[in-house]
Structure 1
Amino acid sequence: MRVAMVIKTDEGGRWTLPHLDALRERGHEVVAVLPPGNEGRLRKALHDRGVEVVQSAFDFRFRPRPSTLRGLVGLRRQLQSIDPDVLHYHLYASALACRFAGLGWRVPKVHMVAGPLFLESPLIRAVERVLCRLDTVVIGGSEHTEARYRQLKAPRTTAIPYGVDVERFSPPSPAYRAACRAALGVGEDTFVACMVAYVYPPKRLTHRGRGIKGHDVLLKAWREFERDRPDARLVLLGGGFDAAGEEYKRRLERHKTATVDWYDSVLDVRDCYAAADVSVSPSLSENHGAALEAGAMGVPNIVSDAGALPETVDPSTGWVVPRDDVAALTAALRAAYAEFRAGTLTARAARSRTRTVARFAQGPAAGAVADVLERAVLR
Structure 2
Amino acid sequence: MRVALIIKTNYGGLWTVPQACALRDRGHDVVVICPPGGRLNARLTEAGIRTVASPFSFRFRPTPTTLIQLWQLRRLVHRLRVQVLYHHLYAATLAARLATVGMPMVRVQFVAGPAFLESRAVRVVERLLWRMDRAIVCGTRYTSRRYGELGVPAPRRPAVTSGLNLAWATADLPDDTAATRAEARAKARADLGLTPDQFAVIMVAYVYPPRKLAAHRNRAFKGHDVLLTAWQAFRSEHPDAVLMLVGGGSDQAGEAHRQDLMRRFGVGDDPSVRWVDTADDVRPYYRAADLSVSPSLSEGHGAPPEAALLDVPSIVSDAGGLPETVDETCGWVVPRDDAATLARALAHAYTEFRSGDLAARGLQARDRSHRHFDNRVSAVRMAQIVEHAAGVGGPPPEYAPPVTGKVFSR
TM-score normalised by structure 1 residue count? 0.97
- Separation in 1 of the partners of 2:63 and 2:23? 37
Q: Deviations over 1:186-230 (max 9, x none)?
A: 111110000000001111111222111000110111111011212
In structure 2, the residue matched to 1:220 is 229
- Cα offset, 1:2, TM superposition: 1.7
Spell out the pairing of 1:226-305 with structure 2 (5 A cutoff): 226-254=235-263, 255=265, 256=267, 257-305=270-318
Q: Deviations over 1:80-122 (max 9, x none)?
A: 1111221101000100011111111221111000111111110
- Separation in 1 of the partners of 2:278 and 2:238? 27
In structure 1, the residue matched to 2:360 is 347
**2:198 touches 2:242 (CA, 8 Å); kept in 1?**
yes
What amino acid sits opposite 1:13 in the alignment? Answer: G
In structure 1, the residue matched to 2:83 is 85
In structure 2, the residue matched to 1:136 is 134
**2:164 touches 2:374 (CA, 8 Å); kept in 1?**
yes
In structure 1, the residue matched to 2:401 is none
What amino acid sits opposite 1:66 in the alignment? Answer: P
What amino acid sits opposite 1:20 in the alignment? Answer: A
- Separation in 2 of the partners of 1:298 and 1:146? 29
In structure 1, the residue matched to 2:115 is 117
Spell out the pairing of 1:297-316 with structure 2 (5 A cutoff): 297-316=310-329
1:186 aligned onto 2:199: no
Q: What's the secondary structure of 2:15's corresponding residue? A: helix
- Cα offset, 1:25, TM superposition: 2.1
Q: Deviations over 1:249-290 (max 9, x none)?
A: 101112122200010111211111111100000001000011
Q: Deviations over 1:280-309 (max 9, x none)?
A: 000010000111101122211000000000
In structure 2, the residue matched to 1:53 is 51
In structure 1, the residue matched to 2:340 is 327
Give ranges in structure 1 of 5+ residues lacking alignment.
none
1:34 aligned onto 2:34: yes
The percentage of aligned residue pairs carrying the same residue is 49
Q: Deviations over 1:121-153 (max 9, x none)?
A: 101111000001100100000110011111111
Q: Deviations over 1:13-53 (max 9, x none)?
A: 11111111212222322111112x4x311111122223221
**1:306 touches 1:323 (CA, 8 Å); kept in 2?**
yes
Pairwise CA RMSD: 1.3
- Separation in 2 of the partners of 1:71 and 1:186? 52
Q: What's the secondary structure of 1:20's corresponding residue? A: helix
Q: What's the secondary structure of 2:390's corresponding residue? A: helix
In structure 2, the residue matched to 1:106 is 104
TM-score normalised by structure 2 residue count? 0.90
**2:292 touches 2:312 (CA, 8 Å); kept in 1?**
yes
In structure 1, the residue matched to 2:405 is none
- Separation in 1 of the partners of 2:14 and 2:8? 12
**2:294 touches 2:317 (CA, 8 Å); kept in 1?**
yes
Deviates more, 1:18-27 or 1:166-175: 166-175
- Separation in 1 of the partners of 2:261 and 2:132? 41
In structure 2, the residue matched to 1:356 is 369
In structure 2, the residue matched to 1:168 is 168
- Separation in 2 of the partners of 1:377 and 1:85? 8
**2:17 touches 2:47 (CA, 8 Å); kept in 1?**
no
What amino acid sits opposite 2:355 in the alignment? Answer: A
- Separation in 1 of the partners of 2:14 and 2:368? 23
- Separation in 2 of the partners of 1:146 and 1:17? 23
- Cα offset, 1:366, TM superposition: 0.8
**1:239 touches 1:249 (CA, 8 Å); kept in 2?**
yes
- Separation in 2 of the partners of 1:71 and 1:344? 56
**1:164 touches 1:296 (CA, 8 Å); kept in 2?**
no
Q: What's the secondary structure of 1:12's corresponding residue? A: coil
- Separation in 1 of the partners of 2:89 and 2:237? 44
1:374 aligned onto 2:373: no
**2:239 touches 2:272 (CA, 8 Å); kept in 1?**
yes
Deviates more, 1:309-318 or 1:24-33: 24-33
**1:163 touches 1:361 (CA, 8 Å); kept in 2?**
yes
In structure 2, the residue matched to 1:201 is 209
Give ranges in structure 2 of 5+ residues lacking alignment.
171-177, 393-410
- Cα offset, 1:354, TM superposition: 1.2
